[in-house]
Structure 1
Amino acid sequence: MIVIADGGSTKTNWCLINEAGRKIHFNTEGYNPYFAKQDYIENSLRTTLPDSLDPSKLDEVYYYGAGCSTDANKKIVADAMQKVFVNAKINVDHDLLASCRALLGDEPGFAAILGTGTNTCLYDGKGIALNIDSLGYFLGDEGSGSNIGKRLLADYMKGFMPKGLSESFFNIYGLSNEDIFDNIYNKPLPNRFCASFSKFLYDFKTVYTDYAEDVIDTAFTAFFEKLVIHYPNYNKHLLNVVGSVGYSFRDRLSVVADKYEMGVGKIIRSPIDDLVEYHLSKR
């Protein structure tokens, strides 16, 4: 049996392919090694994997994860998984490669992730040919859920959010400024905390249209200005995107892409189905 997984900073989508060729899907939390270390990953897997799954019976694990761009980070995840999937060959790679394979298969092109975090690259059909580092939650990740969430939190705390929307925010989350500071500066996974509020904007985008469009367009404009336009001949490629933020706000993403004369290709919420088909085609 093999299992293929696409892991973001918030959620991991898994697909088990059993001896009969049946596909079994399940989810766990995300395991970005910049935020989640080996013991945390191991313990989370032991408590969240489906009871029906016997980890010792797996032959191979293909895990593509956010933050798995360096050998050191890949080792954190691989070592944790080896302790859980004790008899399996563990393969760990970057989630950006998973996105390329899901979006483009063996064809070259431009691929991006717009989820909890952001990433972009040019893909040559086999591997990542050029990647401009998004610099993560603190220094970059323009256009991501964490980027949008930080804007929302700042507007809420400063009183810049429209009054009715601010009231709805408090009624839903009940957060004081002190609570927000505590979650960002003292608690683990601040990127996931900030990104969680992008759903709030999505839920209210048709009620507070002008504000929502300003927040989203500002984020996607920064995504282009700080990342996309710095790729050689960027607008000769189609914009192919994986991730909940890119998918949920794909109408505004298309508007902003048009301003930069870049056509839009494939936009999907999750790469897992296409990624599974890619791996099955190689067996």
Structure 2
Amino acid sequence: MIVIADGGSTKTNWCLINEAGRKIHFNTEGYNPYFSRTDYIVESLKKSLPDHLEADKLTEVYYYGAGCSTDALKKIVADAMGQVFVNAAIFIGHDLLASCRALLGDEPGFAAILGTGTNSCLYNGNDISLNIDSLGYFLGDEGSGCFIGKRILGDYMKGYMPKGLRESFYDNFALTNEDIFDHIYNKPLPNRFCAGFSKFLYDFKDNYEDYAFSTVEYAFTAFFENLVIHYPNYKDYSLNCVGSVGYSFRDILSIVADRYEMGVGKIIRSPIDDLVDYHMQPARKVSL
């Protein structure tokens, strides 16, 4: 049995393929090694795996994760996987590579992630050929859920948010400015906390179209200005994108892409189904 996983900073989508070829999907929280240590991942996985999954029967684990960008960071996740899936060969790769393989398969092109965080690259059909670092949620991650969430929180705290939307925000979350400061500066996973408010904006976008459009347009414009246009000959590629933010606001993303003379290709919420198809192709030899 093998398992393939796509791990973002918030959620990990897993697909187990058993001996009969049956696919079994399940989810756990996300395990970004910038924020999660090995022992935390082990404890969380043991609590989250389905009861019917016999971890010791797995022979291969392919885990693509946010933050798995260096050998040291990959080792944090690999050590955890090795303690849970004790008889499996463990392969750890970056979630950006998962996105490339899900979006483009063996074809070269441009791929991006717009979810809790942001990433982007040029792909040569086998591996990432150029990646401009998005610098994470403190310094960058333009276009991400966290980037949008920070803008929403700032508007709420400063009183810039439309009155009715501000009231709905408080009705939903009952957060004071002090609560927000505490979450961001004192509690774990502030990126995940901020990103959660992008869903609030999506839920209310039809009632506050102008505010929703301007907030998301600002984020996607920053994504293009700070990342996309700095790739050589970017207009020669189509924009292919994975992630809940890019998918949920794909109409606005298409408008901004058109403004920068970039066509739009494949936009999907999650790469897991296409990633499994990539791995299951006959004679496929996958390297991470």
Aligned to 2:113: 113
User: Does 1:251 find its partner at 2:242?
Assistant: no
Percent of residue pairs identical: 78
Q: CA deviation at 1:212?
A: 0.4
User: Does 1:151 find its partner at 2:151?
Assistant: yes
Structure 1 counterpart of 2:109, one-letter code:
G
Counterpart-to-counterpart distance in 2, 1:107 and 1:11: 27
Counterpart-to-counterpart distance in 1, 2:234 and 2:271: 22
Aligned to 2:220: 220
Aligned to 1:189: 189
Structure 1 counterpart of 2:98, one-letter code:
A
Per-residue deviation, residues 249-271 of structure 1 (Å, max 9, x unmatched): 00000000000000000000000
Structure 2 counterpart of 1:173, one-letter code:
F
Structure 2 counterpart of 1:215, one-letter code:
T
Counterpart-to-counterpart distance in 2, 1:180 and 1:70: 32
What SS is found at the alignment partner of 1:197?
A: helix
User: Does 1:33 find its partner at 2:33?
Assistant: yes
Aligned to 1:179: 179
Counterpart-to-counterpart distance in 1, 2:228 and 2:57: 43
User: Does 1:104 find its partner at 2:104?
Assistant: yes
User: Does 1:93 find its partner at 2:93?
Assistant: yes
Counterpart-to-counterpart distance in 2, 1:49 and 1:186: 29
Counterpart-to-counterpart distance in 2, 1:185 and 1:55: 37
Counterpart-to-counterpart distance in 2, 1:12 and 1:150: 23
Aligned to 2:75: 75
Counterpart-to-counterpart distance in 2, 1:235 and 1:114: 19
Aligned to 1:163: 163
What SS is found at the alignment partner of 2:187?
A: coil
Q: CA deviation at 1:83?
A: 0.3
Structure 1 counterpart of 2:41, one-letter code:
I
Structure 1 counterpart of 2:228, one-letter code:
V
Counterpart-to-counterpart distance in 1, 2:55 and 2:177: 43
Counterpart-to-counterpart distance in 1, 2:264 and 2:35: 32
Aligned to 2:265: 265
Per-residue deviation, residues 64-116 of structure 1 (Å, max 9, x unmatched): 00000111100000001100000000100000000000000000000000000
Alignment root-mean-square deviation, CA? 0.5
Structure 1 counterpart of 2:152, one-letter code:
L
Structure 1 counterpart of 2:140, one-letter code:
G
Counterpart-to-counterpart distance in 2, 1:51 and 1:168: 39
Q: CA deviation at 1:242?
A: 0.2
Map of 1:43-58 to 2, 5 A cutoff?
43-58=43-58
What SS is found at the alignment partner of 1:148?
A: helix
User: Does 1:236 find its partner at 2:224?
Assistant: no
Per-residue deviation, residues 99-140 of structure 1 (Å, max 9, x unmatched): 000000000000000000000000000100000000001000
- TM-score, normalised to structure 1, is 0.99
Per-residue deviation, residues 137-165 of structure 1 (Å, max 9, x unmatched): 10000000000000000100010100000
Structure 2 counterpart of 1:222, one-letter code:
A
Counterpart-to-counterpart distance in 1, 2:236 and 2:187: 43
- Matched residue count: 283
- TM-score, normalised to structure 2, is 0.98
Runs of 4+ residues deviating >3 angstroms: none
What SS is found at the alignment partner of 2:51?
A: coil
Runs of 5+ consecutive residues of structure 1 not aligned to the other structure: none
Aligned to 1:132: 132
